[in-house]
Structure 1
Amino acid sequence: MRQFRNDGLVFDVRGGGPPDGEPVVLLHGFPQDSSAFDRMAPLLHDAGLRTLAPDQRGYSPGARPAGRSPYRLREVTGDVLALLDAAGLASAHVVGHDWGGAVAWALGAWHPDRVRTLTSLSTPHPAAAGRAVFTSDQGLRSSYMAAFQVPVLPERLLLARDGAVLRGVLENGGLPDDLVTRYVDRMRQPGALSSALAWYRAIPFAARDTVGRVDVPTLHVWSTGDTFLGPAATAGTRRHVTGPYRLEVLDGVPHWIPELAAQRVAELVVAHIRSVTAPR
């Protein structure tokens, strides 16, 4: 399956691995796309897992609705349910990074019957993140989200001089040059950056989309080199998971752990999935 549809939108999908393998949905964040998992997915395939990695709403050229309300968490979570339906899957293991992690948490809370296991890379539970903004340095770490609420100006700044600012942020985060170029080029497509920023601009709708406790088996992977998401929200996540929970900390790795720690993350995901499934 290379594409699926939802709400009149067309989403691109990367898939691989054995067709009868345990299905794993891989959800990227900002400003990435499904290629964020290109180093990790083959390792999952070697372990007998099947992967489905969509370019999420705003990132697939055929799925860039105007405005901010189409990017609220309820809407983007619905896209993953549509992916599962299109693939003929009643449920799957869900792995999300950055905004993809927020979607994974929401799926686990709202649709536990569709989530076999949950793995959130970097992203704490949304309720823990919200609390940490007021009780730690997370507010300062997340200040760019407030800046993104301003219309038009963030796009102009990030894409000025052929995307030099965005490129600098990604390079300073340790991303390989080929991925930096790919992500920046994608964001320079007409409407792409505005659609990606709409995820942030939909944050005011969060009060209507409260993510509650999660009961599915959960793995949370956080890295000490993450300048965007700090330890307070990570530490507070446990209280929002009522099912089996494991926190794994990667020392010194920056925010971009699917790309920069693919081997270790793949090992953790495989072990997490095998802990709840019978060996093949």
Structure 2
Amino acid sequence: MDQDIRYVFVDTPVLSIAIEERGPEDGAPVVLLHGFPYDPRCFDEIAPRLAEEGYRVIAPYLRGYGATRFLNEDTMRSGQQAALAKDLLNLLDAMELPSAALMGFDWGGRAACIVAALWPERVRCLVTGGGYNVQDIATAGRPLSPAEEHGLWYQYYFQSERGRAGLEINRRDFCQLLWRLWSPTWSEGPTLFGVTAPSFDNPDFVDVVIHSYRHRFGLVPGDPNLEEIERQIALQPPIGVPTISLWGSDAGIRMAKPEDLEAVKFTGYYKRRVLAGVGHNIPGEAPDAVVQAILELLKPH
């Protein structure tokens, strides 16, 4: 493990968040947010380079991953998008960061996009993997194309108790299968999976994951404390902060379409790039493109 990493825990009202931090503590903050089923290892080729540029790089383990823990055993193990966004906002508050550059994909991209949309004053700029990563739960029941529905098989599996049990019993094999399906051309994936998989041993991993995939279809209630945020999210608010959207051309999930149908969701500076030969794990598979995008927004010409 990189000896330059500082391992810290930051307490928020809900979580003790495990964080890997690099770079000068007085540097401009960049927060890197992983998705499901990943962890900060996907930023190992990115974080050191940003730290060398003088940025304070913060890579938290999301709720249900790694050493991050809930402070109260009675807290709902929610995986809903409002919870992910509120965790990020709480982290910025706890670390006394008025604003930060954000990069996230999958679940982490969802948190980053929501905070950028609802609290833009807290976001200096945004690099999002997979575009406007905000779920529209009101339309979640509408069928997609057969090919897209096929790719979401795991989400339907998780609606059943058999799916919960399958994830609990086979969590590493299950997650490794998703890695292969979502990043079919990524040769380094199997090696990185081995150092990532321990993060899935978190005692709350299964509960948070199952709730996430049930809530996004409107099939289970969310955390009552997050209802106001969910109401704001339901309006599908635009993102006005400077943004670069990165897509993988070979992704087995959230595949890039030829036309940019989401451009209307971004009202400020915005660019979309489709990365050839890249799957779903954009930071792990295309670190150069991610670093370039972050620096482009932080150091505009």
Show the 5 A alignment for 1:125-204.
125-126=133-134, 134=143, 136=145, 137-151=147-161, 153-158=162-167, 160=169, 163-171=172-180, 173=183, 174=186, 175-203=188-216, 204=218
Q: Counterpart amino acid of 1:154?
A: G
Q: Are the structure 2 counterparts of residues 123 and 154 from structure 1 closer, same or farther at C-alpha, using a change threshold of 3 Å?
A: farther
Q: Counterpart amino acid of 1:109?
A: A
**Considering only aligned residues, what root-mean-square deviation do their CA atoms show, in Å?**
3.0
Q: Secondary structure at the match of 2:78?
A: helix
Q: 1:62 aligns with which of 69, 79, 95?
A: 69
Q: TM-score, normalised by structure 1?
A: 0.85
2:273 is aligned with 1:214? no
Show the 5 A alignment for 1:1-280.
2-59=8-65, 60-63=67-70, 70-126=78-134, 134=143, 136=145, 137-151=147-161, 153-158=162-167, 160=169, 163-171=172-180, 173=183, 174=186, 175-203=188-216, 204=218, 208=231, 209-210=233-234, 211-232=236-257, 235-275=260-300
Does the CA-based 8 Å contact 2:84-2:110 persist in structure 1?
no
Q: Are the structure 2 counterparts of residues 135 and 71 from structure 1 closer, same or farther at C-alpha, using a change threshold of 3 Å?
A: closer
Does the CA-based 8 Å contact 1:125-1:237 persist in structure 2?
no
Tell me how far 1:207 sits from its aligned partner: 6.5
Q: Are the structure 2 counterparts of residues 155 and 187 from structure 1 closer, same or farther at C-alpha, using a change threshold of 3 Å?
A: farther
Q: TM-score, normalised by structure 2?
A: 0.80
Does the CA-based 8 Å contact 2:77-2:204 persist in structure 1?
no
Q: Secondary structure at the match of 1:39?
A: coil
Distance 2:240 2:94 in 1: 25
Q: Counterpart amino acid of 1:245?
A: Y
Tell me how far 1:48 sits from its aligned partner: 2.2
Cα shift readout 1:14-52 (whole Å, capped 9, x = no counterpart): 111122322111111001122221221111112222111
Tell me how far 1:233 sits from its aligned partner: 9.7
Tell me how far 1:127 sits from its aligned partner: 5.8
Alignment size in residue pairs: 275
Distance 2:157 2:148 in 1: 15
Tell me how far 1:103 sits from its aligned partner: 1.0
Distance 1:105 1:275 in 2: 21
Q: Unaligned 5+ residue runs, structure 1?
A: none
Q: Counterpart amino acid of 1:121?
A: G
Q: Are the structure 2 counterparts of residues 269 and 134 from structure 1 closer, same or farther at C-alpha, using a change threshold of 3 Å?
A: farther
Q: Counterpart amino acid of 1:264?
A: A
Cα shift readout 1:117-153 (whole Å, capped 9, x = no counterpart): 111013534268968x7565544433422222223x2
Q: Unaligned 5+ residue runs, structure 2?
A: 1-6, 223-228
Q: Higher helix share goes to which structure?
A: 1
Tell me how far 1:8 sits from its aligned partner: 3.6
